[in-house]
Structures are given as structure tokens and as C-alpha cells.
Structure 1
Amino acid sequence: MSAGPVTLYGLKNCDSCKKALKELDASDRETAFVDIREDADLDRLLPAWLQAVGAERLVNRRSTTWRTLSEAEKSGALGEGAAGLLKANPTLIKRPVIDTGAEILVGWDSGTQQALAR
């Protein structure tokens, strides 16, 4: 992982985000952290993220917040209502979201790690 700088969008207390930051730092990858609740411009970012990866990938359906939603909200979250729902509930965004400048990666799994190694 020695390519250019990346921006990691996440939450300070998110274990996946902490793990990603630690591994990126260990690989000497320049990484800027942006808290999605406090510092991210979700009005600008969410449409681009949804276009790049789709709601199926971006919405975290394993989160506590997801379980508290009504069925109507859940069905809208995977369709045209995704941006509004994610903006209102940033914890519904699967984390981390990593912007490499060339692509948007979601989650910290082997696929993301392989993509960053390219």
C-alpha cells in the first residue's frame, strides 16, 4: 500500500475505522481521517458515493440504527431515499468509506485491502 494519499471517512469510535487507520499508517499510506458525523459534507459526498458503489453497498444493514428503522424507511434506504436517510442517520453508512481519488471503497475487508494495494 504505497500509492497516493487517501481520505478515510468514518467514526472515531468505529473498530473497523480504527483498524483501517492503523493498517494504512503501518503501510506508510498518507491518510486523512474525516468524521462522517462532525466534519463530512454529506450533501456533496453521498450522491457521489451512492453513484459509485450503490445503496446496497453503502447502507449498513447490520447496524443498531438499521434495526430501529420502520419497514418504510428500510425500503426507501435501498432506493431513491437513500441519500436523505443516510444524511439524517450517518451511522447507517457502512464504514469506513475510503476515497482514493480514483475510486470509492466501502468497508475494511480483503477486497478493499487488495484494491488499496494496487
Structure 2
Amino acid sequence: MTILYGIPNCDTVKKAQKWLTQNNIDYSFHDYRKDGLDESLIQSFLTKHKWTDLLNKRSTSYRALSDSQKETLNEVNAIQLFIEFPTLIKRPLIIHGDASQLGFKAQAYQDFFAV
């Protein structure tokens, strides 16, 4: 089973969805805002990626954090911030079986699904 995580209005998520559809890959979409995000789901992400790799430093949500929040970020408080502000997680995150991929680039998806 393939699950694409993200938010529906993200252009990069839209590109990933289009690529998956064009390549006839069945997937389900998990909208962080609508379907929710909890600590156990984030912990499952952390088995595949470091929290620093999940953190989207280019997001508006990250820029809105206070300087002290940014300076004291660690795995524990990042989990809580990911729950509170799901857009802090890089998008899209795709999980296919035991493998996972962050972001979208057509060639990377081609390689990812060729395995």
C-alpha cells in the first residue's frame, strides 16, 4: 500500500499526485489537517527519517516560530510542533511498503517505484 501524506493545496503534493496517477500507482492520500496527525504517526515517520529531515525550514509555519522555539528545537518538542503545525513537515511524504521518500522529484519517484 502506498500512502501520500501532505496537504491538498501544496503545489508539490499536487505534482506528486499527478505523477502517481500518470504512472498508474494506486495510493491513498492522508491530509494532515483533515485526517489528523498524532504522536504515533509521527513516531512512525521517525523510524524512516530524522526529525531534522522532516522539518520544513522553508515553510511559513517555521518562519512564524519564535527565535527561542527555533533555537531550542529538538526531537521531543519538534514532535509536538509537528502535531500543532503540520505544515512544519516537508511535503509530500510518501510511504510505500517499508520505504519512504520526502519531497517530490519525478526522477526520484521513478527510481523509488522501480525497486
Q: Do the aligned residues in 2 keep the contact of 1:86 with 1:92 (CA within 8 Å)?
A: yes
Closer, same or farther in 2 for the Cα pair 1:57/1:93, shift >3 Å? same
The 2-side partners of 1:117 and 1:70 are apart by 42
1:102 to 77, 98, 105: 98
Aligned counterparts, 1:1-118, within 5 A: 5-109=1-105, 110-118=107-115
Deviation at 1:112, TM superposition (A): 4.5
Deviations 1:11-64 (A, max 9, x none): 110001000000011000001111011103422210111231011210100001
Aligned-CA RMSD value? 1.6
The two structures have a TM-score, normalised by structure 1, of 0.86
Q: What TM-score, normalized by structure 2, do the two folds share?
A: 0.88
| Matched-pair contact (CA < 8 Å) for 1:59–1:78 | no
Unaligned stretches of 5+ in structure 1?
Answer: none
How many residue pairs were aligned? 114
Report SS of the residue matched to 2:28: strand
Percent identical: 35
